Structure 1
Amino acid sequence: MNIGFIGLGNVGGKLAGSLLRNGYHVTIRDLDPEITRRFIDQGAAAASSPRAVAEASDMIITCLPSPRACSAVMEAEDGVIAGLSAGKVWLEMSTTDAQELVRIAARVAATGALAMETPVSGGCHRAATGNISIFAGGDRDTFERVLPVLTTLGRRVLHTGPLGTASMLKVLTNYLATANLCSVAEALTVARKAGLDMNTTFEAIRISSGNSFVHETESQVILNGSRDISFTMDLVLKDVGLFDALARSL
């Protein structure tokens, strides 16, 4: 199977690398030539446009930073939709707006291609090891068709229902992770100011009712001094904004 991958940022790059390591023929597209070169060196082919990616691939995966970026990549004159045809599959792995996803999926369906939303959760470190979680929204037949690829990329794959459900669940869980990270950072700061041993503090939280996935992963990054979780504040604001918009609309 030929897979096209558009958007080689922190998480997208880890996912594309996993496909290459597992023997898929991957055609890539990214605006950063240095990132593109890194994947060419690993055996990927490069395309000159999103349309060229779609024309060369059986399955096209987009992993982009915003709904606006996805619309541009999909709907431009040389975008993915222009290169789709019957039998091809589009997987949207971006964290995006559910209504926008459904709108673009309708345009994909008009070409005879199939659409699934498959946003991922768990962080860059899990994406790199194929241990990420994947929410999959779309009809069951399409889900069964793309499942072998999804199980290559992630360990936990959940079919969430029709198109739109996965995107809503993704922004909900990212909102929860952000709120949890803020509270964890505050708790650790208070512990340090109180003179508590930070290794003991970490373990106390881990074995208590205050424990969480965020604590077990991100607290280690805070305590080792790097504070680098490979995620930008711009993306935090985008994700929380999408959740806020969803909540207000309901």
Structure 2
Amino acid sequence: MNVGFIGLGNVGGKLSGSLLRNGVGLSVHDLDADLVQGFVAKGASAGGSAAAMMRDCDVVITCLPSPAASDAVLQEMLPEVRDGKIWLEMSTTDEAEVRRLSAEVMARGGAAVECPVSGGCHRADTGNISIFAGCDRPTFERILPLLTLMGRRVLHTGEIGTASTLKVMTNYLATANLLTLSEAMVTMKAAGLDMATTYEAIKISSGTSFTHETESQLILSGSRDVNFTMDLVLKDIGLFQTIAERNNVPLELSPEVIRIMKDGQQRYGDRAQSDRIIERLEEATGLKVLADGFPSDLIDDEPEEQGYEVVVNRAAQ
């Protein structure tokens, strides 16, 4: 396959880097010309424009910061969509929006796949991130070889819209966990507990989580730079709240999670790193939650290996 990749930012640059590193013929495009030239220097081709990439490539992957950006890029590509072309959307977006855009692609004879990722930029950088894929099964099997180069664990979630729905759910859970970890660590600090010991106690207990084993380290080191900003968090948890409202689920915690993150954004800025949310409690108590020996950047030390499809266990059904 000739593959095009549009959107070379924090996540997209790492996902496309995995394709290039594994020998995929890659064309790239981004509004930032310097990012494009960086990839050209590594062996990629400059795609020129979104329309040109859809014309020249079998698969065009988009990884963009907002649903509006995805819409704008797809509208540029649509005139070049025809039988056999695949649009693969890796942005985090609303399931209703991805259904709408996918329908436009399929109306022109193309195929559409939504493939949001989960696991953090450090795992995207090594090809060890997890990928959700929403599409029909024949299309999934066509693009699975590409997905297993970008991610370690690939889950076919069902029809278009299911992957985006599950993705915003996971981001909601991670955000809620970040808030409870912030409360737990500040409370332990106030109670006189050693923070490094607190970290290990959580890690080996029923209270541990992916968020703890990654973001808590950045909180304790003081870097508080998880490469995911508060505006992106609010977009995702807002999408989750919309799904609940659309399905008449009267959530109680979700509105409070949104309120707290909005307060953090007002205090520290739209593009503040999400793990700075602990500073609200540090300021309220006059405490500082820090410990020696923790990294300022997350590094994925899991060896890169060929990815695989995660098979849903239906034995008990």
Structure-2-length-normalised TM-score:
0.76
1:86 to 80, 83, 88: 83
Letter matched to residue 223 of structure 1: L
How far residue 213 of structure 1 moved from its aligned partner, in angstroms, is: 0.8
Unaligned regions of 5+ residues in structure 2, if any?
Answer: 248-317
Match of 2:234 in 1: 237
Q: Deviations over 1:130-171 (max 9, x none)?
A: 111111111111111111111111111111111110010001
Give the Cα separation in 1 of the matches to 2:87 and 2:192: 53
Tell me, yes or no, if structure 1 residue 145 matches structure 2 residue 142: yes
Instruction: State how 1:46-65 maps to structure 2 within 5 Å.
Output: 46-65=46-65
Match of 2:105 in 1: 108
How far residue 195 of structure 1 moved from its aligned partner, in angstroms, is: 2.8
Give the Cα separation in 2 of the matches to 1:8 and 1:160: 25
Match of 1:69 in 2: 69
Give the Cα separation in 2 of the matches to 1:86 and 1:113: 5
Give the Cα separation in 2 of the matches to 1:203 and 1:189: 15
How far residue 186 of structure 1 moved from its aligned partner, in angstroms, is: 2.2
Give the Cα separation in 1 of the matches to 2:98 and 2:187: 42
Match of 1:216 in 2: 213
Give the Cα separation in 1 of the matches to 2:7 and 2:27: 11
Give the Cα separation in 2 of the matches to 1:234 and 1:162: 28
Contact 2:132–2:167 under 8 Å retained in 1:
yes
Give the Cα separation in 2 of the matches to 1:192 and 1:25: 52
2:133 aligned counterpart, secondary structure: strand
Instruction: State how 1:89-238 maps to structure 2 within 5 Å.
Output: 89-238=86-235
17-26 or 49-58, larger mean C-alpha shift? 49-58
149-158 or 35-44, larger mean C-alpha shift? 35-44
Larger-Rg structure: 2
219-228 or 181-190, larger mean C-alpha shift? 181-190
How far residue 194 of structure 1 moved from its aligned partner, in angstroms, is: 2.8
Match of 1:25 in 2: 25
Contact 2:4–2:47 under 8 Å retained in 1:
no
Match of 2:10 in 1: 10
Give the Cα separation in 1 of the matches to 2:181 and 2:85: 44
How far residue 217 of structure 1 moved from its aligned partner, in angstroms, is: 1.0
How far residue 209 of structure 1 moved from its aligned partner, in angstroms, is: 1.5
Contact 1:27–1:56 under 8 Å retained in 2:
no
32-41 or 109-118, larger mean C-alpha shift? 32-41
Give the Cα separation in 2 of the matches to 1:177 and 1:217: 11
Contact 1:119–1:134 under 8 Å retained in 2:
yes
Give the Cα separation in 2 of the matches to 1:241 and 1:26: 34
Match of 2:246 in 1: 249
How far residue 38 of structure 1 moved from its aligned partner, in angstroms, is: 1.5
Unaligned regions of 5+ residues in structure 1, if any?
Answer: none
How far residue 110 of structure 1 moved from its aligned partner, in angstroms, is: 1.7
Give the Cα separation in 1 of the matches to 2:31 and 2:186: 39
Give the CA RMSD over aligned residues: 1.1
Where do 4+ consecutive residues of structure 1 move more than 4 Å?
none
Q: Deviations over 1:58-83 (max 9, x none)?
A: 111011111111111101xxx12122
